[in-house]
Amino acid sequence: MKKVLIAKDLKSLLPGKDSFLDRHDIKVFVASTNDEAQRICAKETIDLIVTLLDLPGGAPESLCEFIRTRPALRKASIIMVRQDTLAHRERCKRCRANAVLTMPVDALILHMKMQEFLNVAPRMLYRAALAVAIEGKFRDRPVPFWTENLSASGMLIKAPEPLSKGAGVFLSFFLPDGTHISGYGEIMRVERHQEEADMYLYGIKFTNVDEEVRAAIDKVVTLRRGRGAS
């Protein structure tokens, strides 16, 4: 059982029903203050904490120190959300968070980081083709990639070719039900794959995708999750 603790003010950013959190082996706790978060951590072996630097109650530095010094919680991952200020940047360093996101938070990036720390298995995996636009020019060949995670707002892909954060991408692929999907997105995150040295992971946020396309993606993802696809 994986256990997640999230600050109440961030709860609205969580994915909804049939998401990676809506599983029998994941339990979510919500805390309104740092004091409440610490009480939960004292009773439960939490695997992931998603919190705000300016959450009310005790100091977040004290909460993080509590987590880091308890044997049962030392392996817990912390995602800290802060304002983009110098003061908050310095305080976050003292918290020793595993990941720091600035406000306003991009929900897609938050979801991907949560899945990464929870080591949640991807729900959809299939071959597709990607045409990449860099500085307004399209490459003359598609790049093969695998879809690690797909939602109506974006996708996480695995590809053997290095691309740049901020690059625009034109996406063209088929859903498992045969629906053709095309549209534009932006690479928001780039990481080298930890287990495959010749692969990269890219978090892509859809920037220009028709509502009909989003609805088609959401329908297929929900259906496959309902069947327990992996």
pLDDT in tens, the chain (230 residues): 899 999 999 988 887 665 677 777 889 999 999 999 999 999 999 999 999 999 998 899 999 999 989 998 888 999 999 998 888 988 888 888 888 898 888 777 788 788 778 875 444 444 455 555 544 445 555 566 777 777 888 888 887 777 888 888 877 777 766 677 778 888 898 888 777 777 888 888 888 878 888 888 888 777 665 555 44
pLDDT score for 134: 47
**Domain termination site, one of 118, 148, 167:** 118
Domain encompassing residue 175: 127-226
CATH, residue 10: 3.40.50.2300
The Cα–Cα gap between 84 and 104 comes to: 9
Q: Are residues 147 and 207 in the same domain?
A: yes
Predicted model pTM: 0.56
**Domain termination site, one of 100, 118, 136:** 118
**44-75 CB burial, b ≥16 within 10 A, e <16:** eebbbbbbbbebeeeebeebbebbeeeeebee
58, two tokens: 């005790």
Q: Are 67 and 73 in contact (CB under 8 A)?
A: yes
Structural domains counted in the chain? 2
Of 92, 86, 90, give the one whose Cα is nearest residue 60.
92
pLDDT score for 139: 54
Q: Are residues 140 and 215 in the same domain?
A: yes
What's the first-to-final CA gap in the chain, in angstroms?
18
Q: Are residues 155 and 172 in the same domain?
A: yes
Alpha carbon 182 to its chain's center: 22
**Domain termination site, one of 95, 118, 141:** 118
Sheet containing strand 99-102, strands side by side: 26-31, 2-7, 48-52, 77-82, 99-102
Q: How many CB atoms lie within 10 A of CB 226?
A: 9
Q: Are residues 86 and 8 in the same domain?
A: yes
Q: 16 CB contacts (<8 Å, ≥6 apart)?
A: 22
Question: ∠ CA 154-160-162 to the nearest 5 degrees?
Answer: 75
